[in-house]
Amino acid sequence: MKSPLLSLPGAVPAEGRDEGVAAHYGDLFREQRALAGGTGLVDLSHRGVVTVTGDDRLSWLHLLLTQHVSELPAGQATEALVLSAHGHVEHALYLVDDGTTVWIHVEPDTQAELIAYLESMKFFYRVEVADRTGEFAVVHLPAGSIAEVPDGVAVRETAYGRDLFLPRADLEKYAAEAGPLVGILAYEALRVEAHRPRLGFETDHRTIPHEVGWIGSAVHLQKGCYRGQETVARVHNLGKPPRRLVFLHLDGSEVLLPGSGTPVRLAADGAEGRQLGFITTSARHHELGPIALALVKRNVPVDAELLAGNTAAAQEVVVEP
């Protein structure tokens, strides 16, 4: 779904999974500094929006998700996953309950598949699931923003800022009031800096939550049964996820960033050495320079110097081996 904000002066369209919103509005680092300083608005209107209503909405979702939501207080934001029977991550949900409705935003174009799964699990529960993407647009205000939230708008407030479920018809008017506008590249650079995984970026078809740091933030280890829980419990008790997420400081002398999927190897083995992982997301940060997240094998030494393609990389531990 193409955002109307792409028609504004200076807007450069994003590509790939973030197609439909602006990559930036002419000055990537200025936009990053604004966002880090608590000002600006990020257009996330390409993300899917799903609502769940009905008396059983929280108790029902509690049975299906990795997070403890049966007693979720109104207004308290949380994250949750849907796993396969083998414990692999299928969906990442960012949700809040406003007292009558659970508001969820998900990765672009994944809402239909999520809704199909939820509908298949309704049985006798008093719930209604709806795709609200055509009616509501997600926008992000950073922590510290003084922009006003319109009355009646559902809000997810976290340590990183507020996600608003704004009526899509009000997007242009609100953006003009809450600006300056910040593109998705600046938002992604701060996400990488904060070591926050993203579905489809830090995950593939065999990712389990432990590998990317979702235990705790999106997975509750003391709740009841849900699909994939056996894998979660087994890996947690053994403490041996096959891969682990790392944060990389990349050599700033390179002109090009190593893109998603770029092989990661030990620097000591050179560019022809055995592949031990791959880049998931790379970004240019206004203070740190070129940075990245990568998935590497669990047994890669935490102090090892790495190569991302031909680019030297120093790692920081995100997930303990």
CB-CB contact of 278 with 263 (8 Å): yes
Domain residue extents for the chain? 4-47+135-194, 48-131, 242-320
First to last CA, the chain: 40
pLDDT tens per residue across span 80-128: 999 999 999 999 999 999 999 999 999 999 999 999 999 999 999 999 9
User: Which two tokens mark 20?
Assistant: 């439909």
Pick from 60, 86, 38, 54: nearest CA to 230 = 86
pTM for the structure as a whole: 0.96
Superfamily (CATH) of domain 242-320: Aminomethyltransferase beta-barrel domains (2.40.30.110)
**CATH of region 48-131:** 3.30.70.1400
User: Which two tokens mark 305?
Assistant: 């110097």
Question: How many other C-beta atoms are found inside a 10 Å radius of the C-beta of residue 64?
Answer: 16
CB-CB contact of 296 with 264 (8 Å): yes
User: Which two tokens mark 248?
Assistant: 């990389």
Report the half-sphere exposure of 171 (CA within 13 A, side-chain side).
26
Backbone angles phi, psi at 210, to 5 degrees: -60, -30
The residue type at 32: Q
Q: What percent of the chain has pLDDT over 70?
A: 100
- The residues of the chain scoring below 50 in pLDDT are none
pLDDT of residue 252: 83
Residue the block writes with tokens 């500094």: 33
pLDDT of residue 238: 87
pLDDT tens per residue across span 57-93: 999 999 999 999 999 999 999 999 999 999 999 999 9
CA angle 291, 293, 297 (to 5 degrees): 135
Pick from 183, 145, 180: nearest CA to 164 = 145
pLDDT of residue 253: 79
Alpha helical stretches, state H, the chain: 28-36, 57-64, 111-120, 171-178, 184-193, 209-212, 229-238
Alpha helical stretches, state H, 228-314: 229-238
CB-CB contact of 277 with 243 (8 Å): yes
User: Which two tokens mark 39?
Assistant: 């000002």
CB-CB contact of 172 with 145 (8 Å): no
User: Which two tokens mark 235?
Assistant: 């890996």
Backbone angles phi, psi at 308, to 5 degrees: -105, 100
Q: Which H or E element spans position 48? A: strand 48-53
**Distance, CA of 188 to CA of 44 (rounded, Å):** 11
**Distance, CA of 231 to CA of 233 (rounded, Å):** 5
